[in-house]
Amino acid sequence: MTAHLTDRRALNRFRARAARRQPPADFLHIEAAAEIKERLAEVNRSFTAPAIVTGWPAFWVELLPGARIVADAPTLDLAPAAHDLVIHAMALHWAEDPVGQLVQCRRALCPDGLMLAVAPGGRTLTELRAVLAEAEAALTGGLSPRVLPMGEIRDLGALLQRAGLALPVADSVQLTASYADAIALMHDLRAMGETNALDARHRRPAPRSLFAEASRLYARNFPAEGGRIRASFELIFLTGWAPHESQPQPLPPGSARARLADALGSEERPLPDPAPFPRQS
């Protein structure tokens, strides 16, 4: 039997419930969209055939009016070489196969097309993860999967090259929010559609004492001003291009025509010969 990371039925149910909420709890999407707009503004190009892969079509359709909206299913509904811009928006963290998602985005790009992805990163909800683990270990003597594991920037950045994208760049934005208490934070995560949809999660309800103890630990260990608590969120941005001959290419080793010492205005000194290894008797 194949193990799965995500219970897609539960994820879709949680997203549908969150989409009905008014006002929407979309501050992370607002921050992500603002950063995407800024990155697009820095690219000296007009995109005529964009596509956006997301689980939140009602929000992201406003980013690029006329863009094709594609659900973040395991198999993306994208035609090969059909788009000059593909944005993977706030969904990569729930993907069973993140590199497969990026490969499909790259195949959907025409030559020299741009791929942008944004998703929560590994420093997201570090405080909540810590207090839930401490509380559950103290109360039950064990741990269960309660917060989705999210990728670190180095690992996610490496996926760009594995997906065959050129000129790869990975960067992140760190955000901090404050809440009345841990229960308010968990209610907000529910409103975002980001509650526990792990396939390995326990199906039976958690004891009330677990969340009461986690809330107590949270207030003690991660306080914010005014008797509130702080919560960390990280947004990781991945940028890559479909390969094209017009793009800068790395020079072969040994082809440099200038010395680094001249560029730095320093004196070049040869390294001393290494000392011989002692002979063993």
Longest dimension (CA), the chain: 81
The predicted pLDDT at position 251 comes to 59
Average pLDDT by stretches of 10, the chain with 281 residues: 81 94 92 96 93 96 94 97 98 95 98 97 96 92 84 94 95 97 96 91 82 96 97 98 79 65 75 63 50
SS3 for 192? Answer: helix
Apex 177 CA angle, 176 and 182, nearest 5: 120
CATH classification code of 8-242: 3.40.50.150
The predicted pLDDT at position 2 comes to 60
Q: Is the peptide bond before 23 cis (omega within 30 degrees of 0)?
A: yes
Task: Enter the pTM of the model.
Answer: 0.85
pLDDT tens per residue across span 68-93: 999 999 999 999 999 999 999 999 99
Residues whose CB falls within 8 Å of the CB of residue 218, separated by 6 or more in sequence, listed in order: 127, 128, 131, 181, 182, 185, 229
Domain boundaries, the chain: 8-242
Using CA atoms of 77, 82, 85, 87 in order, give the dihedral in degrees to the nearest 10. Answer: 0
Q: Is the dihedral of CA 203, 207, 208, 210 positive or negative?
A: negative
Two tokens, residue 97? 């196969």
**What does the alpha-carbon distance between residue 230 and residue 132 come to, in Å, rounded to a whole number?**
15
